[in-house]
Amino acid sequence: MSEPKFKPGQRVRIADRTPLTHHRVPAYAKGKVGTVERICGVHGDPEKYIRGPGEPMQRVYRVRIPQIELWGSYSGAPKDMLEIEIFEHWLEVAT
């Protein structure tokens, strides 16, 4: 398998797309920017599991997103974060 595309501490954007196939990215996280907290390993691509063994394998990242980024009206502490695990092909470099 190739080297990880992203590193812990790197800012990333979760792609904002809605494929017609099965996918595991919640709508509220699409298009949001966060920071890679860690690399969680590899797993079969769930978008392909529905039709077979889930190949090719995909790297999974834990991404931390500030709650205020997710919910504009969030009134909790500014340091409150959501941690979500996202497959590599759903991540883009945040500019």
Average confidence score pLDDT of the chain: 89
pLDDT at res. 66:
95
pLDDT at res. 19:
80
Average pLDDT over residues 34-61: 80
Distance between CA atoms of residues 54 and 81, nearest Å? 30
28 pLDDT above the threshold of 60 = yes
Distance in angstroms between the alpha carbons of the first and the last residue of the chain: 26
Question: For residue 45, how far is the Cα from the chain centroid?
Answer: 13
Per DSSP, 49 falls in state H
Q: Name the residue ranges covered by the structural domains of the chain.
A: 11-93
What CATH number does domain 11-93 carry, 2.30.30.50, 3.40.50.12780, 3.30.420.40, 3.40.1160.10?
2.30.30.50
pTM for the model stands at 0.85
pLDDT at res. 27:
93
* Main-chain phi, psi angles of 90, to 5 degrees: -100, 0
Distance between CA atoms of residues 76 and 78, nearest Å? 6
* Main-chain phi, psi angles of 28, to 5 degrees: -65, -15
